[in-house]
A and B are shown apart, each in its own frame.
Chain A
Amino acid sequence: MKYIALIYYDPAQEPQSGASMNEAYFDLNRRAVEAGVLVAGDALHPPATATTLRVRGGRTETMDGPFADTKEQLGGYYIFDCPDLDSALAWAAQIPSAQVGAIEVRPLIVFE
């Protein structure tokens, strides 16, 4: 099964890219590749760079900022290919930002 691990963090709190944080992410990436579970993973630029749009009545409304103006924001994601939720949760728990933010794990729908 494929799972997405959405990384939420508080932009006001977390050091954006400390050297040790990067080191920890590189280490996780390496191990996840070796274990054959890493499908994809990316870090996002900060919420201030986000643009949100809606199409209503054929018109595109564009707005500055992220979709939800909450304290904790999406900062990145991983997609893991794991046999079950327990295994996906075990990988998600190793995401360095789990120590300061929160990780939401959700199964991906597979269309056959």
Chain B
Amino acid sequence: MSKEALARVLAEDRGRLLAALIAGFRDFDLAEDALSDATEAALLHWGRSGVPDQPRAWLLTVARRKALDRLRRAQRAGAASPTVALLAEEFSSAETPEIPDERLRLIFTCCHPALDPKSRVALTLRTLGGLTTVEIARAFLDSETAMGQRLSRTKAKIARAGIPFVVPGPADWAARLESVLTVIYLIFNEGYAVTAGRGPDRVDLCAEAIFLARMLNEQRPSEPEVQGLLALLLLTDARRAARLDAGTLVPLDAQDRSLWDRGLIDEGEALIEQALTRRAPGPFQIKAAIAALHMGDPVDRAQVLLLYDSLLRFEPTPVVRLNRAVALAEVGAPEAALAQVEALAVDLATYQPFHAAHAALLSRTGRLKKAAQAYARAIDLSGNEAETAFLRARLADLAGNLTKKEAEQSSAQVQQGGEDT
């Protein structure tokens, strides 16, 4: 009974409690240790005398006391810490503390651009997502030791380099927000990719990312790019059940729409519409709008192409150029699209979606042999089984057509006296 209550409080409020502790003590490790001390104490006390009226406040008060105990022990051991008395005074004044919501400051600290990108992801999941080091290691196919070291290094850099625990001011706001949004997007994509070797013991990173995006949207409502990101994640997640069929990836236009989650789509569409009325477009809003359009019936292809043009202004990258070229093919210009895709061959040489898109365009424009080669390259580069299965099926279709075409050609050649074509 009390165990479940504790688990529930922690599932909902671990990030908030940790953020409040880090805000008070400015020490990630101390905050984590104190919270796990408090959790142990809760197991003992709640079991004996029942769950307190305000379990969250109880945990915070106890965690603060435990942190002070730890600081005092360290002080006796010789480490100077003049702040202990001050902190003790500050915390004793309120017996049932208001829990300040410091999660916005915490996520900006965890996603600070002075930290390595992968470390930003890991630390955000550890502190605000409440994942264990083991779970994060598994999610990124890293060893527990390596992930533990990464987290320690990151926390040490925050402390030693003096990375502040603040919400950035207007001058830095846009750039710093982008860093936070990118971290959440990376977490989602890592979960959405159907990676080989993914077992049932792997946590749901998509759910974690949506949780974080919702949290951010609550903390800073009406921020168009935050709404854009949340909309993008919801619209993508809505198709989760439809994108695999017997272990094979199903492309969007072939998906069974009855499997899409209508609730998530409605929520995502409402968010993106609201965001776009603010007339402060950004890459996440555009990507969400593209995702929404792709789910329309029929799909407004011309509008999709226009949106990719806008996206290119924010992100003039080879990957966006590739997607724009694919959209161009969809409005009926496959030859032009093929030329644009082929211009990206050097930049995207090891990017699987490039070869898959190239193959599809070659096939569509009747260059079947070259298409087969491109599919083979895409299969070589594919990182997961569902994708490989899809590409193999395409290649098999193509091989069928190729044999048919060759048979027709050779019989035509025989009739024309074996001219060399």
With a cutoff of 8 Å between Cβ atoms, the chain A residues found around residue B164 in the complex are: 83-86
Taken residue by residue from 166 to 186, chain B's Cβ proximity to chain A (1 for < 8 Å, 0 otherwise) reads as 101000100000000000000
B162 within 8 A of A: yes
Of the candidates A86, A88, A89, A106, the one whose C-beta lies within 8 Å of that of B166 is: A86
With a cutoff of 8 Å between Cβ atoms, the chain B residues found around residue A3 in the complex are: 162
A44 within 8 A of B: no
B114 near A1: Cβ-Cβ < 8 Å: no
Of the candidates A85, A106, A112, the one whose C-beta lies within 8 Å of that of B163 is: A85
Interface residues of A in 69-86 (CB under 8 A from B): 82-86
A107 within 8 A of B: yes
Give Cα distance in the complex from A86 to B168, angstroms. Answer: 9
B7 smallest CB distance to A (angstroms): 36
Please name the residue on chain A nearest to B158 by beta carbon: A85
Give Cα distance in the complex from A86 to B112, angstroms. Answer: 10
| Chain A interface size, under 10 / 10 to 19 / 20 to 34 / 35 or more | 10 to 19
With a cutoff of 8 Å between Cβ atoms, the chain A residues found around residue B161 in the complex are: 85, 106-107
A1 smallest CB distance to B (angstroms): 5
With a cutoff of 8 Å between Cβ atoms, the chain A residues found around residue B114 in the complex are: 85, 89
A71 smallest CB distance to B (angstroms): 23
A84 near B160: Cβ-Cβ < 8 Å: no
B160 near A86: Cβ-Cβ < 8 Å: no
B162 near A107: Cβ-Cβ < 8 Å: yes
B80 within 8 A of A: yes
Please name the residue on chain B nearest to A109 by beta carbon: B160
Give Cα distance in the complex from A88 to B112, angstroms. Answer: 14
With a cutoff of 8 Å between Cβ atoms, the chain B residues found around residue A82 in the complex are: 162
A112 near B80: Cβ-Cβ < 8 Å: yes
Give Cα distance in the complex from A33 to B80, angstroms. Answer: 32
Taken residue by residue from 26 to 40, chain A's Cβ proximity to chain B (1 for < 8 Å, 0 otherwise) reads as 000000000000000
Q: Would you give 21 A-B contacts (Cβ < 8 Å), ordered by A?
A: A1-B162, A3-B162, A82-B162, A83-B162, A83-B164, A84-B163, A84-B164, A84-B166, A85-B112, A85-B161, A85-B162, A85-B163, A85-B164, A86-B163, A86-B168, A86-B172, A89-B114, A106-B161, A107-B160, A107-B162, A112-B80
